[in-house]
Each structure stands twice: as C-alpha cells, then as structure tokens.
Amino acid sequence: MTNASIPAPAAGAGVAVLDGQAVHDSLPLGTLLRYFDGTPQPPARFTRKMRAWKNRNSTGRLIEKSPPSAIGSSRYPASFVLHEGTYTSDGTPIIVMRCHYFVTTDLNFEILELPQPGMVRVLTRWNGKDELQHLASDMAAAEIWAERHRYSNLVLEPVEDGEAPAQFGRAA
C-alpha cells in the first residue's frame, strides 16, 4: 500500500478530527485512519520536503493499542500502532511499514473507514496484548487467510454490531 496521494475527506462530510488519546481510547482495531499535521503539501519537485511531509501526513490501519508502561524509573504514556503498508517481492513480505505513536502525539487523525459488522479480525495475542494481522471480509475468508499464514496464538474475532463509537458514526 503506497500513499502517492492521501485521500482527503469528502466536502461537507463533517469528519471528526481526533487526537491520539481519542484514537487509543475509542476506536476499534482495524480502523483506517488518515493522520496529518496541518501543514500544506509541498510541490512534488521538492523531493526532500515531500518525503518529510509524507512522514507526518499519510494513512494507516490501527493494528495495536498498548496501555501506559514503565521501564525502571521511566514512565511512558499509552500508545498505538498504525500499519501503513507491506511491500512484497513474489508474494514474500520484504518491508512492513508501521508507525508507533504515543497518545501525546501532536498529529491529528480522521477516520476513513471503520470495520463493518460481519468482518473478522485475525489477531495474535501475546502478553495480554492483541495485534491485528488481517481484517477479513467474513469468517470463511479469515479461516482461509489463517491457513495460509501460520501464526501462534491466533484468534478470529468477528466485528460486532455497535462497536463503532456513536459520536463518529459508521464510516467517515
């Protein structure tokens, strides 16, 4: 998944702009998000500026949420991970692009797509934490995907009706 152009919300769609804390606290795994810093996109001829801008203005799917943690005397706020894309060669993943954010990030987020009822999250569970590996259209597709991609601690979790936060609606 490459982000040559970042989808903008439809005019007059009334899209809610969220901060990192709202993403962590209220959105289900599998939500597709647009994140941005509010700066205008530079002209394409400025390749370095464009690369830097794309690092803070792109899209990703919410695949993991972590509670606040402490290591020694250092304390870290809650965090979440967005999957931006997987680059493959002959069907073999070569590079997996993931961005980790603390809830204190200065970026803004918009919901592009929420998981729909009937879809199935393919999760791995480890140390009490869920990580989304795949979002399938239905249980049969999830089972086929799970057979082809062997993971330990795999869990198939159907998306239930009413999971989407009411204030954001079903889809943005």
Is the residue at 11 inside a domain? no
Are 23 and 66 a contacting pair, CB within 8 Å? no
Residue whose structure tokens are 């799970």: 146
Residue 128 confidence (pLDDT) above 90: no
Is the residue at 65 inside a domain? yes
What's the whole-model pTM score?
A: 0.83
Confidence of residue 168 (pLDDT cuts 50, 70, 90): low
Residue 74 confidence (pLDDT) above 80: yes
Confidence of residue 39 (pLDDT cuts 50, 70, 90): very high
Is the residue at 108 inside a domain? yes
Mean predicted lDDT score pLDDT of the chain = 87
Is the residue at 80 inside a domain? yes
Is the residue at 6 inside a domain? no
Confidence of residue 83 (pLDDT cuts 50, 70, 90): very high
Is the residue at 3 inside a domain? no
Is the residue at 7 inside a domain? no
The predicted structure's pLDDT at residue 82: 97
What is the separation of C-alpha 100 from the centre of its chain, rounded to a whole number of angstroms?
10
DSSP-derived letter for residue 12 is: T
Q: How far is the C-alpha of 146 from the C-alpha of 134, rounded, in Å? A: 9
- Count of structural domains within the chain: 1
Angle at 133 between CA 60 and CA 164, to 5 degrees: 60
